[in-house]
Amino acid sequence: MRAMLTELPYRKLTGFRRFLLEVDRTTPRGARIAICLPFAAWEGGYGYGYHRASFLLPGKQVVPLLRLGADVPAPGNVALADFVACWHQAPRIDGFEVLWRSGDGVLMKRTR
Amino acid sequence: MIAAVATSLLLVVAGWPVAAVLDRRPAPLDRRLAEAYLLGAALASVVLFVHSGWSRASLLVPMLAISAACAWLGREGLGVTRCAVHWIDLATVVLVAGYARFATIGPTAETDFIGIWGVKAKEFWLAGGIDWKFLENPFNQFAHVDYPLLVPLVFDVHAVVAGGWPDRWLGVVNVGLGIATLLLLRAFLAEEARKPLLLALATLACVGVAFAPWIGLAEGALVAFGTAGLLFVRRGDVSRGALYLGLAAMCKNEGLTLIGAAAVAMAIAGNARKIARLWPAAAVVVPWMVVRSIHHLQTDLTTSGVGERAVEHLANLRPMFEAMLRYPVGRPLLWLAIAAAIVIGAREVGGRERFLAAAIALQLLFFVAAYVITPHDVEWHVRWSWERIVDQLAAAATFLALVLVTRRLDRQDPLY
């Protein structure tokens, strides 16, 4: 029951919790981490993940790649991030390199 | 679990003398226990709010020092008087134990705990103080950064005492607040129902409304402090009620409108001259409003264009009412029973109980007004809040219904 309740809030994004716990473990305190999810709509999945990411990355600042609460891409926000955490995708982003990769996603780190 | 229980007991121990200062004479055990927990939680939150670099010592030393000073000031009121008990109370204890199991069976899975209350508590705990940079960052607006901080700070009290983030055991806060609400309802009901059987049955009937089903959210705290506030004002202890109303406003923004509802209800009940005695509510709330303003933490409902939104929504109220019908408040039997009791005791509702009935009705109107000025899609807003906010009034409404019924039953032949 405890394990089920632990996963329950993240059940719609399989492996998301496990992925972000690993992101949390491998990034320094105060890191600014862009959350990259394969959803273009805020209410269609992105907001679900973004709301939960902050709780799983305490002491770090999550950065949205959609305008908050809207279905408008905000790719420029990548410039405000030190890391990009991509769940279930691995886009190429200029200025970032892959730090590690798992079955749940990819963590990229700023190189310049 | 040991740390969670120890922290809850610590809050009772620290709050007991604070309650004694307010009373200045021995109080019934149930009421004193409830007030001690609530005031202890408030005191601990204030201590955390006013400093950073949190540690066990930085929390406990000032807290216990204030408590000791209150023990000296309120020494005449430290004692308690006995409360009547009945074997039916065992059924209440079983239900409370079941709720305690439910609340602590695992980490709270509520979306709003993860996105609003818990996330702030966790950030503050890691920062060792209020993380104003987190609250001010526009990327964190989703966490309703304008909401008052009492509830996250109570979670932090548990984290500080435990020396770690107690994921699973934060449900203990819900349990403590629920028990406090139930004990308060019982203590006030005891002033109406003299027969132990009636009192025990009335207490049993209150279990469902005293314990919030939303673990980790602020509803439980708002119900506890808000109901305490309304019931103290109802019995004429206005300043003390105002203190609790102020603390309710430190739990959720609905607590602010509850202060307004109480003030207008006092006027409706013919006590307009006593409204100034609500000043402790303002004394609690105003400092937070100032701090919130300094940090530019704006409430979504008051974003610019309130007038335009109100005109637009008032011109077409249908979507709001349709949403209220589509997403009903739940507990239909409870609300039907409350309505029936109000009909039965209509004369008293318009007389002795005018204050409480008016305060509940006015707060309901404030809820509707929030939907009228909402910047969000009305249907979305009603869907995700209507049941929860109406439930904030269930404890006070159930109390009103029970008072109306028990007074009649109490006048009849002894049940045994």
Q: Do B105 and A2 touch (CB under 8 A)?
A: yes
Place of tokens 């673990």: B215
Binned at pLDDT 50, 70 and 90, residue B302 comes out as: confident
> What are the b/e assignments for B324-340, b being 16+ CB within 10 Å?
beeeebebeebbebbee
Tally C-beta pairs within 8 A across A and B. 62
For CA atoms B311, B317, B318, B323, the dihedral sign is positive
Per-residue confidence (pLDDT) for residue B265, from 0 to 100? 97
Per-residue confidence (pLDDT) for residue A76, from 0 to 100? 92
Half-sphere exposure of B314 (CA within 13 A, CB side): 9
Binned at pLDDT 50, 70 and 90, residue B377 comes out as: confident
Sheet strands (E) in B11-84: 27-28, 80-81
Indicate which of B142, B144, B169 best probes the interface with A, i.e. most A CBs within 10 Å of its own CB.
B142
CB-nearest partner of A51 from B115, B122, B138: B115
Read off the pTM. Answer: 0.93
pLDDT of B124 higher than 60: yes
DSSP B78-138: --EE-----TTHHHHHHHHHHHHHHHTSSS---HHIIIIIHHHHHHHHHHTS--HHHHH-G
- pLDDT tens-digit series, residues B40-92: 999 999 999 999 999 999 999 999 999 999 999 999 989 999 888 899 999 99
Half-sphere exposure of B100 (CA within 13 A, CB side): 14
Phi, psi of A62 (to 5 degrees): -80, 145
- pLDDT tens-digit series, residues B143-160: 899 999 999 999 999 999
Contacts of B72 by beta carbon, 8 Å cutoff, 6+ apart: none
Contacts of B162 by beta carbon, 8 Å cutoff, 6+ apart: B3, B4, B7, B169
Per-residue confidence (pLDDT) for residue B413, from 0 to 100? 54
User: How far is C-alpha A44 from the chain's CA centre?
Assistant: 16
Mean pLDDT, rounded, for B258-271: 96
The residue of chain A with its CA nearest to that of B167 is: A6
Round the average pLDDT of chain B to a whole number and report it.
93
Number of other CB atoms surrounding residue B278 within 10 Å: 23
Burial class of residue A74 in the structure, from the number of CB atoms within 10 Å of its CB (0-12 exposed, 13-18 middle, 19+ buried): middle
pLDDT of B230 higher than 50: yes
Per-residue confidence (pLDDT) for residue B152, from 0 to 100? 97
Q: How many helices (H) and strands (E) does chain B have?
A: 21, 2
Range ranked top by mean pLDDT from B207-216, B322-331, B383-392: B207-216
Number of other CB atoms surrounding residue A41 within 10 Å: 11
Interface of B with A in 74-133 (CB under 8 A): 105-111, 114-115, 118-119, 122-123, 125-127
B168 touches chain A (CB under 8 A): yes
